[in-house]
Chains A and B, each alone.
Chain A
Amino acid sequence: MNAPLPEATARAAIERGRRQAEVVAALSAALPAHALLWQREDTVPYECDGLTAYREQPLVVALPESEAQIAAVLYICHGLEVPVVARGAGTGLSGGALPNPFGVTLSLAKFNRIVAIDPLARTATVQCGVRNLAISEAAAPHGLFYAPDPSSQIACTIGGNVAENSGGVHCLKYGLTLHNVLKVRGFTAAGEKVEFGSDALDAPGLDLLAAVVGSEGMLAVIFEVTVKLLPRAETARCIMASFDDVRRAGDAVAAIIAAGLIPAGLEMMDKPMTAAVESFVHAGYDLDAAAILLCESDGSAASVEHEVGRMSEVLRACGATRIEASVDEAQRLRFWSGRKNAFPASGRISPDYMCMDSTIPRRCLADMLIAIAAMETKHNLRCVNVFHAGDGNLHPLILFDANDRHQLERAEAFGAEILELSVAMGGTVTGEHGVGVEKLASMCVQFSAAEREQMTGVKAAFDPSGLLNPGKVIPSLVRCAEYGRMHVKRGMLAFPELPRF
């Protein structure tokens, strides 16, 4: 009913073609021919990121190979008032790298060099396109590692991690990306070189680094990152504990923290999720348990021994029906295998699923699981649950069949209810996947108009022309009419082989 008239469509296509020719001609002066893509068959691979439900053809894709070329692309785009969307590996889950139809997608994939590992200072300086795991691999000969470990770490890049302030299963103990980055170098929207943070532990003035990390490519374009490295722990062990009641499992999470323990990882799966992953990985999970907790300790052999003992005591006191602590690395990895494969396992039991990413206070975990069970009845859909319990970060997977329009609508209503309850419990609509385009509408639930306007002010302070990744993170008033969510169609998830969450 709102479809544009054919003449208008034709006019728009002509206008786009004219703009494209103009931008290609201008960028040709700065980039070699092979670093500039604009034919549709060449730009299709860039049409979406890990959130495949949203697709858009970029006007042009630029693949610079040097800092000078990034600066030139930005300078030219700034002059022509062309939006720029920076892109790393494209594994993001909220559409943060969704192209702008009238913009340049700036692929930084070629910036994949490890610039320096300084074992004495325990830092790594790497280009933005270096994969997360490659940093730890390069640091390993020195007995060091980079702590934040998002599940997609074999593919995702450090530049994308900085854009999203990525977490991982170990962030309760070791912090998020922000806590492990010392310095980033990049360019402003106008192509001016800029540095946030420093090689010291702080920098003069306002803490702009804290604003840039997690800003989803909207404040600056980053090409180099200096991260902290930590000495690798001597050993790690994982406890798998079963509970016959979700409330007792939720209380056990709180009790672990109340006992003064900070596990290296603390994860929860409910019964349907456990059944789904067990039939996928055969890790030997307890299929009778209402909920399973995975609780990890790392450190020196003596302290891990001691901590595993204390953790087991707390879990037992909270009513765990079965407790098993890994005795070797192979068993520890087997305990984790199911948790890491929650996504592909869910794909096997439902045509489609919608993944939520809210965070709530830990004490509300059981209340949330019980509320979700009631929502399953209300919306007549199933939901399986994996939680980063230690952080209160939830990943309920709402199962549905997108071919049935009613099911899609019910799934969306279900998801909206989870997000609203999360905010009402004192939580947040996104714990680690970012807002991107997916959660634009949810931002309206969490922030007032004044707060959103102030965020727009922050954006303008870094990027007065508003050309860096416009339309992401901060919703317009119009967008505040509807809640958005992630919707993954089976077989449409980009990089289906990657472990997730």
Chain B
Amino acid sequence: MNPAVEALVERIREANATRRALSIRAGGTKDFYGEAPVGDLLDVSNLLGVTEHEPTELVVTAPAGQRLVDLESQLGEHGQCLAFEPPRFGAASTVGGMVAAGLAGPSRAAAGSLRDAVLGVTMVSGRGEVMRFGGRVIKNVAGYDVSRLIAGSLGILGVIVEVSLKVLPRADAESTLRFDLKPQAALELLHGWGRRPLPLDASAWWNGNLIVRLRGSAAAIAAATRELGGEAIASAAAAPFWGGLRDHTDPFFAAAEEAIEHQDAALWRLSLPQTAPLLGLAGDELIEWHGAQRWLATALPPAQVRAAAAAVGGHATIFRGGDKSAGVFAPLSPPLRAIHERLKRSFDPNGIINRGRLYPGL
């Protein structure tokens, strides 16, 4: 066994003996996300090893401590990518942190989520046991899909050691188009396009502009670009725009940071049905995923934001800043909360790992 994994197992067993909580951290680029970390620092940036990428398998297996930027450049050499476009909140972002957070970027609505791409996970549970679930093949129904349960779990079930992900070839062609539109008109246009076999990939509405990205074969992109109209954005400008959206360095997110600092605002992530109406909440709003993800920088009370999201069948997360005392994530229904508690006890009976990072008391 990798000596770093052996040391990790030892550390978790010790923590179980002394009942001291451990807080997992590698690059530390997502310290802001989730409930406040509790316990001694468990630095996992040393979980390194060989990255196995077999381009003809569309699968990559990477150690948790590998930097995300390195993984992506390795895939890029073979014309492949992580289709879900995980955000990179800094060069230090790691593969393990990416999987634990479960976040996805602009392509999400078209290309699927991080969880969709997870094929297998090797982990050390809160009991200090090394276990592997899933595998390195695309079709696999042997046993419960524990590896996908680990995706987005914020580390509360154990430490991710290695992960296998489905990768995809980069699209042959893409184009970015801009339209002057009010948000309601932008959403209606997107829903109409969505019903047709168009190579629609990403969309973003902010401040009177709808920007859409098409991806696919050159023939399909050429035809769709002609058909949809709008103002074509040159790739030299389009690439940094989508990158800024993906990594939250775009002017909207910069303004949100300002609002967090000076106006007691929070940056909310509202996950809603794509066709949910505009919620009309006060604050600055950016709409992605064809309406399914709406960012809102606002100082409104959490209860009001949550109620508005729930009323249309969605949920709201305090992504950055604000008063977290109302809970970062939307509360669970009683039967789901009970399942969460029993899952936590099963993987981590003494509540050692990332205690309370997802929900207080878990």
Contacts and interface: CB of A to CB of B under 8 A. Distances in A.
B149 A454 contact: no
A307 B217 contact: yes
Given A201-B271, A231-B197, A428-B142, A207 B135 contact: no
A366 interface: no
A342 to B, nearest CB: 17
Contacts of B135: 359, 426-428
Interface of A: 118-122, 142-144, 164-165, 167, 171-172, 175-176, 178-179, 188, 192-196, 198-208, 210-211, 213-215, 219, 231-234, 254-255, 257-258, 260-262, 299-300, 302-303, 305-307, 359-363, 388, 391-393, 426-435, 439, 442-443, 446-448, 450-452, 454-455, 457-462, 464, 473-474
A361 B57 contact: yes
A457 B347 contact: yes
Contacts of B198: 231
Interface in B177-196: 191, 194-196
A389 to B, nearest CB: 12
B197 A233 contact: yes
B280 interface: no
A462 B131 contact: no
Interface stretch (B11-19, B38-46, B65-73, B111-119): B111-119
B149 A143 contact: no
6 contacts: A171-B139, A205-B340, A207-B151, A258-B55, A361-B54, A428-B139
Contacts of B169: 260-262
B346 A458 contact: yes
Interface in B113-137: 113, 115-116, 125, 129-133, 135-137
Contact of B219 (A176, A260, A303): A303
Contacts of B345: 461
A176 B148 CA distance: 14
A200 B272 contact: yes
B67 to A, nearest CB: 25
Contact of A299 (B191, B217, B342): B217
Interface stretch (B88-96, B247-255, B257-265, B330-338): B330-338
A132 to B, nearest CB: 16
Interface in B137-156: 137-146, 148-149, 151-153, 156
B313 interface: yes
Contacts, number: 260
A439 B142 contact: yes
Contact of A206 (B54, B138, B292, B358): B358
Interface residues of B, number: 83
Interface string B288-301: 01001100000000
B205 interface: no
A181 to B, nearest CB: 11
A461 B141 contact: no
Nearest to A179: B116
Contacts of A454: 125, 129, 131, 146, 346-347
Given A142-B195, A458-B346, A461-B346, A260 B273 contact: no
Across chains A and B, which 6 residue pairs bring their CB atoms closest together, nearest first? A457-B346, A260-B169, A210-B148, A461-B342, A254-B56, A302-B219
Contacts of B271: 198, 200-203
Contacts of B129: 450, 454
B335 A360 contact: no
Given A204-B317, A206-B340, A258-B55, A199 B273 contact: yes
Given A300-B219, A303-B217, A363-B54, A458 B315 contact: no
A186 B146 CA distance: 20
A486 to B, nearest CB: 14
B152 A474 contact: no
B216 interface: yes
Given A204-B332, A208-B149, A392 B143 contact: no
A120 B146 contact: no
B137 A392 contact: yes
Contacts of A176: 139
Contacts of B79: 260
Contacts of A143: 195-196
Given A199-B313, A461-B346, A388 B139 contact: yes
Interface in B316-362: 317, 329-333, 335-336, 339-340, 342-343, 345-347, 358-359
Contacts of B109: 201
Contact of B144 (A201, A215, A262, A361): A215
B127 to A, nearest CB: 9
A200 B313 contact: yes
A443 B149 contact: no
Contacts of B137: 359-361, 391-392, 426-428, 431
B168 interface: yes
B275 interface: yes
A300 B197 contact: yes
A37 B358 CA distance: 46
